[in-house]
Structure 1
Amino acid sequence: MEGNTLFPVFIKLHTLQTLLVGAGPIGLEKLSALLNNSPLAQIKVVALEIIPEVEELSRNFPNVHLHQKAFEVQDMDGVNLVMAATNNELLNFEIRAAAHERKLLVNFADKPALCDFYLGSVVKKGDLKIAISTNGKSPTVAKRLKELLNESLPDDIDTALQQMAALRLTLEGDFAEKVRVLNEVTSVLIENKKK
């Protein structure tokens, strides 16, 4: 198969337990990405060394728990998702093996071949969230596309989303009729672009 065959999904991290192994600069980047997208995410951070920025960030989120210690397989007890931000090749393979043994999905910083999933570049405006994936090929291209979309999307897009949600609640009829009305109302979004 050609092209990107990844299945896009948005996860309710506040209902799950996430394990982050590593609390250096890359761990900080992963933790920031998790919390920027899901501030109520339940996160356990395990690392021998924890940089001050990770400690500072975690102070603002009572749902983040730091454990300054070496990773042990038992750290995965009760966990639903694993992220690793270590520069230790042997540890990464240990984490991957333990995660797969427990049927857990795992992501590794800058190691696409080891990953079960990737983190995308994210554009967020209110309730609108767009994730961009390059199939692990070029995070830089994803970052540039994120900038382009951020500039292109109107700042008041969230107002339109809230109005559409209110309209949906007022619609009567069967599912097909509701879809027809919503398609008619939102058709202006693409008609303006065609002109």
Structure 2
Amino acid sequence: MDNQLFPIFLQLNHLRTLLVGGGGVALEKLTALLRNSPQASVTVVAKRLIPEVRAFVRDYPSVQVFERAFDDTDLDNADLVVVASNNPFLNAHIRQESRKRHLLINVADKPDLCDFYLGSIVKKGNLKLGISTNGKSPTMAKRIKELLDESIPDEIDETLQYMSELRDLLKGDFTDKVRELNAHTASLLMSKRTHGNTGR
């Protein structure tokens, strides 16, 4: 079966995320969440926190940390749940309680318990690309991320800004605007390719 995941980009600064866990995997999840959405409201619940987690969250005032065992009531104020626990019984329990509340959940390294995955991200200014292997190979996703990160020029953000300004200036109906924008996009890409090839 092919990849049937539906890709979306969430405005985490408008949602409340619960993260259960305080170890190395939790740090990876926190890094992914907050590097992409620095203003995200995240509540971390864990019996023990590694020093790296404590140090990381100091730079994010929107993160609350509770060093204690998970309680079902922690889900009451959540919109999204991320679990980074190595306790299979706790993982299954949180999954069950989350479904009762109609909350979307991600359980680290447990695709069968996940409603969504945290994919690899390529970010160049306002351009953001999400990469998914349908949970088959996170390592491959990271390699593809590295390839795209090297291939897409940092100047792409200037192009996006130009296209945004151009869109606001265009007149005519929707079809005319799309046709004009497509023409400009094609010429810009051709210019980038030509410019890139002249240096070889």
Q: What's the TM-score, normalizing by structure 1? A: 0.96
Distance in 2 (alpha carbons) for counterparts of 1:46 and 1:54: 12
Partner of 1:102: 101
Distance in 2 (alpha carbons) for counterparts of 1:56 and 1:189: 43
Letter in 1 for 2:111: P
Deviation of 1:191 (Å): 4.2
Distance in 2 (alpha carbons) for counterparts of 1:189 and 1:21: 45
Q: Is 1:160 matched with 2:172?
A: no
Deviation of 1:189 (Å): 4.9
Partner of 1:186: 185
Partner of 2:36: 37
Distance in 2 (alpha carbons) for counterparts of 1:87 and 1:66: 19
Q: How many residues align?
A: 194
Q: What's the TM-score, normalizing by structure 2? A: 0.94
Distance in 2 (alpha carbons) for counterparts of 1:6 and 1:189: 31
Deviation of 1:173 (Å): 1.3
Residue correspondence of structure 1 range 34-183 to structure 2 within 5 A: 34-183=33-182
Distance in 2 (alpha carbons) for counterparts of 1:38 and 1:171: 32
Unaligned runs of 5+ in 1: none
Deviation of 1:52 (Å): 1.1
**4+ residue segments displaced more than 6 Å:** none
Letter in 2 for 1:52: P
- Residues 91-134 of structure 1, C-alpha deviations (whole Å, 9 max, x = no match): 00010001000000000111111100001100000000001000
Distance in 2 (alpha carbons) for counterparts of 1:62 and 1:15: 15
Deviation of 1:188 (Å): 2.7
Distance in 1 (alpha carbons) for counterparts of 2:133 and 2:14: 27
Unaligned runs of 5+ in 2: none
| C-alpha RMSD of the superposition | 1.4
Distance in 2 (alpha carbons) for counterparts of 1:4 and 1:191: 31
Distance in 2 (alpha carbons) for counterparts of 1:120 and 1:136: 9
